[in-house]
Structure 1
């Protein structure tokens, strides 16, 4: 049984990490968040210590480190995006291997910094890249690999996940903290595209504002038109008022069904990490570079055929 700490225990994604810790037969020993709405801990690990000040959390973890019988083995990071790097570094310096939500960090330079802290501490950082464990995505990867790179597929990625007014009032609506909608809700999709279709060759931004973004990515084996949004008005008419989220990936006009199978991906990710097969810093580098380029790019008019269909509605 491994001993875990959790940083960011009140966040949206934290319960999936708590359940993954429990479902893999391990123990949540200590948790931290500046917010105290963490009653879910009672159903998963009621004996866990909980702190609302990072200094007290860190001091408690440091004291646990003095004995091999109490020392933490892992720290799981679910804090706001802009705090990932310092929280990961703190976990490593506490003698923990670290499991962190996406995006790992916003820039390649911060990946290099984390690699340095890994070297200094002898501990490892693992990123939750959950789509790499989705059966439909694995099947698609095998299908593309079997072709031996003989063709480039035409791919269309659409992800619309409705968010209410609270979103813009939270850290997620602050680009300095979330790094924008393309990074916050898109980074794992960009990782999936690289995972399936190979190295990125072109990265063009067509549109970006506070609630949506669109662009074009060209990989070794695919030409991808993408659109991401948190605006419910962008949902297809057929599901407005019925479902808050729409995911679609088509390849050469064929829909790739992956709407199901998401609920257990964090537990699978933990199983793989605990078995020594987790995804580390270099695995995350490609998608970090992708979102870093998107954030710094100036929007361009799409070339013929490279614009996502929804983009035409935005540019009217």
Structure 2
């Protein structure tokens, strides 16, 4: 079997703790190049993984014969660098949110199709065992019709784990585009679309900057979402949860409740109206608190879709739909109206 030659563009925390170590664990992959504007950062990663060093992604793409690229850059660079990599003949795994606008996302998808390359978005919450099990229970009809839900993703902010700390691009609107909603909220928008198997048709958002200083991006947001079938629920994204983070989801159905990542011991608890309670030990959701070393399964899914010529688990189209939920929430907050999709 051919070994995939891979490059990682952007050597910040997500590349250091997720992409590079997971590529290194994959027998189908050879890490041949890394790229970062900060040369020392790229050199550190290159030394660890025996890769070539670049500070300009265009030079990397022109000089190296690359099969696949991870784009681990500030949000405003996701679209242009992804498009350049696709046009250079590489499959692309892009971090979330995939783009800063619907138009950028559409151009990424179009370029992938034109060049017959895979485009996958790194929404890793779909691959969490408790989330996959919850989706299966819903599809099996275990809790019946879904009436409501709440999903939350909050921690104390990027300054605690971003490679640049308080001076990180996460806090700069011209680079990040959005704050907690882009860092965390889009993950939960994607997760709920996946678990419920439905699209959101109405979105309302209250989005604020009230916890962090010296930033013009959002750090607290609460959204109300309505699905095609009429289920309504809330999505919360925050950089103000301390000392503990929250990455939980609760789904309320006619036959029972699913509590996901909402208990310190059991990653999924199903409570049924007949009194039955089923507790699942499936291994807990990934967290920055554990030092960042875990297998998110994103890389193995990306590699698998290339090697076996399959549709990516989270395609560009899926990434765009999840982005559109967040864009609708922002529009709602700005216009003080409910946005219909």
What TM bracket, shorter-length normalisation?
Answer: 0.7 to 0.9
Q: CA deviation at 1:223?
A: 2.0
Matches within 5 A, 1:204-283: 204-209=204-209, 210-220=218-228, 222-231=231-240, 234-235=241-242, 240=243, 243=244, 245-252=245-252, 254-257=258-261, 258=267, 260-262=284-286, 263-265=294-296, 266-274=298-306, 275=308, 276-278=310-312, 279-283=314-318
| Alignment correspondent of 1:147 | 141
CA RMSD between the two structures: 2.6
CA contact (8 A) 2:150 2:233 kept: yes
| Alignment correspondent of 2:111 | 117
Matches within 5 A, 1:102-181: 102-147=96-141, 151-163=145-157, 164=159, 169-180=167-178, 181=180
147-156 or 175-184, larger mean C-alpha shift: 147-156
| Alignment correspondent of 1:29 | 32
Determine the C-alpha separation between the residues in 1 that align with 2:139 and 2:323: 23
From 85, 97, 100, the counterpart of 2:94: 100
The answer to whether 1:90 aligns with 2:84 is yes
The answer to whether 1:42 aligns with 2:47 is yes
Determine the C-alpha separation between the residues in 2 that align with 1:280 and 1:120: 15
Distance of aligned partners of 1:289 and 1:282 in 2 relative to their CA distance in 1, 3 Å threshold: same
CA contact (8 A) 1:19 1:267 kept: no
CA contact (8 A) 2:34 2:46 kept: no
From 15, 19, 26, the counterpart of 2:21: 19
Post-superposition CA distance 1:297-316 (Å, at most 9, x none): 2268899xxxxxxxxxxxxx
Determine the C-alpha separation between the residues in 2 that align with 1:284 and 1:54: 23
| Alignment correspondent of 2:333 | 298
Q: CA deviation at 1:200?
A: 0.6
Post-superposition CA distance 1:176-234 (Å, at most 9, x none): 32222212222121101001111112210123223111111122464221221112xx4
158-167 or 176-185, larger mean C-alpha shift: 158-167
Determine the C-alpha separation between the residues in 2 that align with 1:159 and 1:187: 10
Q: CA deviation at 1:2?
A: 0.6
Post-superposition CA distance 1:222-271 (Å, at most 9, x none): 4221221112xx44xxxx3xx4x222212236531248143312344334
Determine the C-alpha separation between the residues in 2 that align with 1:247 and 1:115: 29
CA contact (8 A) 1:93 1:121 kept: yes
Determine the C-alpha separation between the residues in 1 that align with 2:118 and 2:172: 30
Q: CA deviation at 1:11?
A: 1.1
